Amino acid sequence: MLYAGIDAGSRAIKVVVLDGATLAVVASGMTDQGVAQDTLAGRLLDRVLGEAGLGRKRVARIVATGYGRASVSAADTTITEITCHACGVHRELPEAATVIDIGGQDSKLIRLNRDGTVRDFAMNDRCAAGTGRFLEVVARRLEADLGDLGRMAARSTAPVPISSTCVVFAETEIIGLLAAGRTPDDIVAGIQRAVATRVASMAGRNLAEPIAFTGGVALLPGMDRALAFALGHAVTVAPNPQMTGALGAAILAARMDGEQA
Report the CATH number that the domain containing residue 162 is assigned in CATH.
Answer: 3.30.420.40
Quick one: pLDDT at residue 236?
96
Domain identity same for 39 and 110:
no
Domain membership flag for residue 194: yes
CB 98 within 8 A of CB 119: no
Query: How many domains, the chain?
Result: 2
Same domain, 129 and 39: no
| Domain identity same for 60 and 102 | no
Does the residue 261 lie in any domain?
no
For every one of its 261 residues, what pLDDT tens digit does the chain have, with 9 covering 90 and above?
A: 999 999 998 889 999 999 988 999 999 999 998 889 999 999 999 999 999 999 999 999 999 999 899 999 999 999 999 999 999 999 999 999 999 998 877 889 999 999 999 999 988 755 655 677 778 888 888 888 888 888 898 899 898 888 766 666 777 888 888 889 999 999 989 888 888 888 888 877 778 999 999 998 898 888 898 899 889 999 999 999 999 999 999 999 999 987 655
Residues 249 and 201 in one domain: no
Domain boundaries, position 10: 2-84+243-256
Q: Tell which residue, 191, 189, 243, 200, has the closest CA to residue 218.
A: 243
Q: What is the 3-state secondary structure of 57-104?
A: HHEEEEEEECCCHHHCCCCCEECCHHHHHHHHHHHHCCCCCEEEEECC
The H-or-E segment that residue 132 falls in is helix 132-141
Report whether 63 contacts 252 (CB < 8 A): yes
213 and 175, same structural domain? yes
Domain-located, residue 89 = no
Rounded distance between C-alpha atoms, residue 93 and residue 239, angstroms: 8
**Predicted pLDDT at 136:** 82
**90 in a structural domain:** no
Tell me how far apart the alpha carbons of residues 234 and 225 are, in angstroms, rounded to a whole number.
Answer: 8
Same domain, 192 and 218: yes
Amino acid letter for position 234? A
Q: Are 180 and 252 members of one domain?
A: no
